[in-house]
Amino acid sequence: MGVSLCFTTSATYTLPSFSSSYNRSPSLSQTLFFPFCPKPLFSLNLNLNLNLMSKSKCGNVDDHTLTSSLFDYHRFDHQLLQSIAYDSLVWASLHGLLVGHKSIQNSGTVPGVGLVHAPFALLPNPFPEIHWKQACHLAPLFNELVDRVSLDGKFLQESLSRTKKVDEFTSRLLDIHSKMLEINKKEDIRLGLHRSDYMLDEQTNSLLQIELNTISSSFAGLSSLVSQLHRNTLSHYGKLLGLDSERVPANNSVNLFVEALAKAWSEYNNPRAVIMFIVQAEERNMYDQHFLSVYLRERYPFCVGYCTKKKNVELSNMISKEKMLYNTHHITTIRKTLAEVDQEGELLPDGTLAVGGQAIAVIYFRAGYTPADFPSESEWRARLLMEQSSAIKCPSISYHLVGTKKIQQELAKPNVLERFLENKDDIAKLRECFAGLWSLDDSDIARKAIERPELYVMKPQREGGGNNIYGDAVRETLQKLQKAGSEEDAAYILMQRIFPTTSAAILMRDGCWHKDHAVSELGIYGTYLRNKDKVIMNNQSGYLMRTKVSSSDEGGVAAGFAVLDSVYLT
């Protein structure tokens, strides 16, 4: 059952029935009241923690029992959790762990209006260190794979040819890609800010990839804050909880994303050009984006004027303090919607993209990944205009297509990775994390999915959460497609359903904490920058942990299904 608490004049505990596969009393519901407590006030029974740690040292408790008991967060005293929750809300408010509240007008357009803390887990999620290291080591391999696949235009066009016939959004993307192939458009400077998402399958104890994101890999800003929050919480409450703040890995994703954007801007070699964020007209997650733009301006000043021969030498390399005052240039960022790019943008004769009279060095897409971002031809004109320009696209149309579900499924086929990579050890490492992936033109796998739909997930070529098909709906959708006898099945792929370990979690949303049983998904960020034959950076660049109630199929934070979390290494 779930347990929730909201900070009001009187704190309220509500215990609603929990609907899932677990056996629980279906009707238990109770509300408890006690005075609101603005200062830490709790009485604790620490005997369980102390006894477990003592017995562990004597060898009387195995590691599994100790770990299971330590991370049974539901056993903690209510007043202790209230105190941690209050402190966490204060920390989140002071440090910018914020989003716009959906009920407040203009909260998605005007900064500072309708602020509420981003949904987060009160305490970090346990995750095996061996699988953590595996996921981190895979990031540079996936970065390189994306780049190499992006250069094979024939592979992308042929792999998505059936999908193109039935999926208009993918078809329009392919049309732009085809136009670039026709004019032999080269992207000499290629920037990727990726995120590979994984779940730990409980039955096989295997780390399996959910998807590879190549466009709008969000939460680099806020995920860094959640890791800091949890380290701060454990530095204050760790002894009471039996947890060590040092077991929460440092998460530098925001700085590493900023570094990649700044280096790409430098490679473009026009100190007057700006970085353009492509955003949605309404964006409640704007503060995650603003962390990047503010850090770019504040942490990456470059010198111009007398030192231009040294090509954007950083301030830290300059000798004369007096010269700094007169020759420092800060990277400028602007935010535009696709429609605004269409209205204000133009392609100059030398290939430079100018928007509102400003030359664009780097285009960073935080929109353009869903059909909803293209309500008219105006947005499609903007997408084509940007692709035709010399600006560095993050992602380019090729990188974007590599991140589609169909390409993920094609890469999982036998001998396909060998088309792009030479190192057998690298290929084996990548293949080890692939879940089962199939095309729906495989009649045998379609039959198995109809018979056992609970073992599969149907995925369309969409990003953003809330698009996948689960359970009985898999059977119903497959039977409907078969009855229609069309090629509509090409709009989907089938994926093995992963069943991760369920753990006790405490989820914070809208000022309330809620006890529930949850599952988590680990995303590993990767940054990749290349200029022709020179790889400038290829790194693992922080992480995103998302946790959702185990009864929920979908897992997007922005879509309202999950909360931000961090890793506690076990």
Please list the active-site residues.
195, 211, 213, 218, 405, 459, 463-464, 546
Question: 459 labelled as ligand-binding?
Answer: yes
Q: Interhelix angle for 253-268 vs 220-241, to 10°?
A: 160
Please check if 262 is assigned to a binding site: no
498 is in an annotated binding site: yes
CB 539 within 8 A of CB 139: yes
Find how far residue 30's CA is from the centre of its chain. 36
172 is in an annotated binding site: no
With H, G, I as helix, E, B as strand and everything else as coil, classify residue 117: strand
Q: How many residues does the chain have?
A: 570
Q: What is the CA radius of gyration of the chain?
A: 25
Which residues, in sequence order, are CB contacts of 180 under 8 Å at separation 6+?
Answer: 387, 388, 397, 398
The reply to whether 479 sits in an annotated binding site is no
The verdict on whether residue 314 carries a ligand-binding annotation is no
Does the annotation place 419 within a ligand binding site?
A: no
| Closest residue by Cα to residue 562 from 546, 550, 539, 542 | 546
Output the six-digit token pair for 217.
Answer: 């890999």
Phi (first) and psi of residue 125, to 5 degrees = -95, 130
Is 548 one of the annotated binding-site residues? yes
368 is in an annotated binding site: yes
Closest alpha carbon to 500 in 133, 130, 203: 203
From CA 277, how far away is CA 363, in angstroms rounded? 6
Q: Is 283 annotated as a binding residue?
A: yes
- Any known ligand binding at 462? yes
Question: 546 among the known binding-site residues?
Answer: yes
Whether residue 539 is annotated as binding a ligand: the answer is: no
d(C-alpha 401, C-alpha 403), whole Å? 5
Candidates 508, 422, 533; CA nearest to 93 is 508
Q: Which residues contact 446 (CB under 8 A, 6 or more apart)?
A: 440, 478, 482, 489, 494
Annotation-wise, does 408 bind a ligand? no
557 in a known ligand binding site? yes
Is 461 assigned to a binding site? yes
Amino acid symbol at 473: A
- Residue 554 among known ligand-binding residues: yes
In this structure, what token pair is assigned to residue 247? 């077991």
Q: Please give the Cα distance from 238 to 247 (Å, whole number).
A: 11
Query: Is 372 a known ligand-binding residue?
Result: no
* Alpha carbons 549 and 397: distance in angstroms, whole number: 35
Contact of 223 with 542, CB cutoff 8 Å: yes
Q: Which residues of 3-27 are buried (b: 16+ CB within 10 A; e: fewer)?
A: bbbbbeeebbbeeeebeeeeeeeee
Q: Would you say 473 is a known binding-site residue? A: no
Please indicate if the annotation marks 496 as binding a ligand.
yes
* Closest-CA residue to 38 (of 8, 72, 1, 4): 8
284 marked as binding residue? yes
**Residues flagged as binding site for Mg(2+):** 211, 213, 463
**Residues flagged as binding site for ATP:** 211, 405, 459-468, 470, 495-498, 521, 548, 554
**Residues flagged as binding site for substrate:** 195, 215-218, 283-285, 289, 366-369, 546, 557-558
**Residues flagged as binding site:** 195, 211, 213, 215-218, 283-285, 289, 366-369, 405, 459-468, 470, 495-498, 521, 546, 548, 554, 557-558
